[in-house]
Structures are given as C-alpha cells and as structure tokens.
Amino acid sequence: MMRLGLVTGLCVMAATGVVWPSASQGPAAPAWQYGSVAPLEPDARGWGWQARAYVNPDTPRPFYNLAKERLFSGSQITSYTIASYDPDLYCEVTRHFDYVWFELQHSTMSYDDVRRMIQTCPREGAAPMLRLADALESSIQRATDLGALGIIVPTVDDAVEARDAARFSRYPPFGRRSAGGGAYRQIWNVPGIDYRATINDNMLVIVMIETLEGVANADEIAAVHGVDAVIIGNNDLSNFSGWTQTDPRYQDAVTVVHNAALRAGKYFGNAGAQYLTGHRLSAGTRIVQNGPARDGWTLPARGARPPASPTPSRPDPAGGHGADEEPVIGMPGTAPPAGRPATGP
C-alpha cells in the first residue's frame, strides 16, 4: 500500500507542479538528482532468483541463448539495435554482443527481413531478440517461429499484457505457444540441440515499463510467471511523464520498478546505456539496449559500416546502433520532452 501511495503521489505532483529537492545538496551534487525512494539491495538469492527457478535442471548448459546464459551467470548484457534489413551488419555485430535487438516497434522492417538475417549466419553468438509492437499471440507466434530466442514487449501497463508476453512465448505446459512450422527448425534443430525440449528454458522474455501506469503496476507486472526481466523504456517514461531523466520524480519512478523486479526475483534493466555506470542503480541494471560490446569491439560511427562488412547489402537509414530512440531524451545537454520545461510538469 505504501508503494502504491507513493506512485499515486508521483501522478499528483505531475499535475500540480510540485518539485522534490535533490537528495544531494551543495556544489558537489552529482548530475543525477535522486528522489526519496531508496533502492533495495539484493539478498543472498541475488538478481533473477525466480527466473532461474523456472529452468528445468536437466536443460543443458550453457544455454544456446548467449544473453540468457550471461545474465544467469551474473553478467550485465548489452545489445546492438538493427532497424532495417542488412545481413552483413547483422553477421558482424552478432559476434560481439550478447543479443541483437531487432527493432519492429519503430521501424518498417518485416518479420521476413529478420528471418533472412538470422538464417544468413545462424548460431554465430548474440541471441536474436525482437522488440515487437504488442503482446498479441499472432505477433509473438511469428517472432518465435522465425527463430527468435527472446522477445521484448514495449509499453506494458498491467499484468495482463505481461502474462500474454510470457505465455505465448513458450510451449505447453509452461505456456501456450502453438506448435507449427518456421525457420526455427533450420536454425536451432541441429546436432546437439533438441529445440522442442529446451527452447522454453532458452527463451528470454522482457517487458518494458514506459508509463506511470506501468510504474503503478510494477509489482504485479514483475510477478507474472514467465516474465524474466523488466526494463525501463527511458525515453518514453520521460515522454509520457513529462519529467526529464534527471528529475527526482523520474528517478523515483525508475527506482520503484527496480525494487519491484528485485522483489519478484526477476532481472532489471534500462534501455539507456547511460545507466550502466555512475548511477546508484547501475549495479542492478543487468540489461541495456545497446551499450559496449562484450569483447571490446569498437562501434562504428553513426551510419558507418563495420570494418568486416565491405559490401553492405543496403544502407541502414536508422543508423544501426546509432539510432537514439531510447537512450537520451531528458539527459543533461538534451532538450526536455516537447512542450515541457526541464523540471515540473
């Protein structure tokens, strides 16, 4: 009840213009202005204890989902975002990152574009994961059948959406994914992998909280059986709340979600890689969109091609990894959401 009252207060303050003071005072105050909600610390079970409990102990390890294996092993995981068809780019970045974030919410890329990229260089490294536009059964069915090892569902506001993301991603008896054909047969049914017996444990289900409604329902969302991780859509939480990311009210909203994920035994993350270091929630930020490569590979400049891709199949108008849909709105040196002052509603 105390947490719900706090989030209700966040919404009231957005309407009235009340601004909370920074938790730090004086000239040495950090760029991050934290609010009054204290982050919880992991207990002896650590992050993701409930997500780990879902896994059949007979499932072979390491997982063929590299992102899930590294997450379960205690590492922070990062991705490279691909928003248009480019098999050369995909085949290069899959060698250097934990997962590839195929962007189907904010792009015109098709499911078939994604299928063809995955089939160009299957099982190279990074787990292919799709951010979908919704949690509909039809959307998730296409994503899993083409060979995705994870789904990311945006703007999840309640436990019903989270439940659909979890149950349509996995076969019975865990979930209710329909059995059928698809490229997954060619990609993952190979010697050493029994796809049907192991895909439920290799699937990584991530839901995004990006609205104050989602923040208010964070405990219920995080507790949904089969959701592995909850991450903040940093840009849209700023967009929908009207608060910059340095606003203490915004920071309290992020901390509410962090605490909900920890209590539920799931993993927590931020879309923005700026939360990986220098923030009080950095240690708990187990997942980010984009971020540094796991092997130190240097990212190309925005719009540039990776060195190992001398003949790209098609230009990437979104700039590949340089696309900034998520990470930067409301950060120091950037504009606040349109029509909103830097602080206040």
Residues 213 and 235: beta-carbon distance below 8 Å: no
pTM (two decimals): 0.83
Which is higher by pLDDT, 143 or 26?
Answer: 143
Q: Are strands 127-131 and 150-153 parallel, antiparallel or unpaired?
A: parallel
pLDDT tens digits for 255-272?
A: 999 999 999 999 999 999
Mean predicted confidence (pLDDT) in 288-306: 78
pLDDT tens digits for 74-127?
A: 999 999 999 999 999 999 999 999 999 999 999 999 999 999 999 999 999 999
pLDDT tens digits for 163-213?
A: 999 999 999 999 999 999 999 999 998 999 999 999 999 999 999 999 999
Mean predicted confidence (pLDDT) in 216-221: 98
pLDDT tens digits for 3-18?
A: 445 555 554 344 333 3
Which is higher by pLDDT, 312 or 137?
Answer: 137
pLDDT tens digits for 125-134?
A: 999 999 999 9
Q: Which two tokens stand for residue 260?
A: 């909900």
* Residue numbers annotated as active site: 106
Kindly write down the DSSP assignment for every residue of 87-146, as one continuous string.
HHHHHHHTTTSSEEEEE-SSS---HHHHHHHHHHSTTSSSEEEEE-S---HHHHHHHHHT
Among 3.20.20.60, 3.30.1360.100, 3.90.600.10, 3.90.25.10, what is the CATH number of 2-12+42-295+308-322?
Answer: 3.20.20.60
Instruction: Please give the Cα distance from 115 to 102 (Å, whole number).
Output: 11
Instruction: Please give the Cα distance from 330 to 206 (Å, whole number).
Output: 24
Half-sphere exposure of 23 (CA within 13 A, CB side): 16
Any residues with CB less than 8 A from the CB of 213 and at least 6 apart, and which? 157, 158
Residues 204 and 71: beta-carbon distance below 8 Å: yes
Which is higher by pLDDT, 133 or 331?
Answer: 133
Instruction: Please give the Cα distance from 153 to 139 (Å, whole number).
Output: 10
Which is higher by pLDDT, 334 or 280?
Answer: 280
Count Cβ atoms below 10 Å from residue 23 Cβ, excluding itself: 17
User: Omega of the bond prior to 62 within 30 degrees of 0, cis?
Assistant: yes
Instruction: Please give the Cα distance from 240 to 213 (Å, whole number).
Output: 10
SS3 track for 210-238 = CCHHHHHCHHHHHCCCCCCEEEECHHHHH
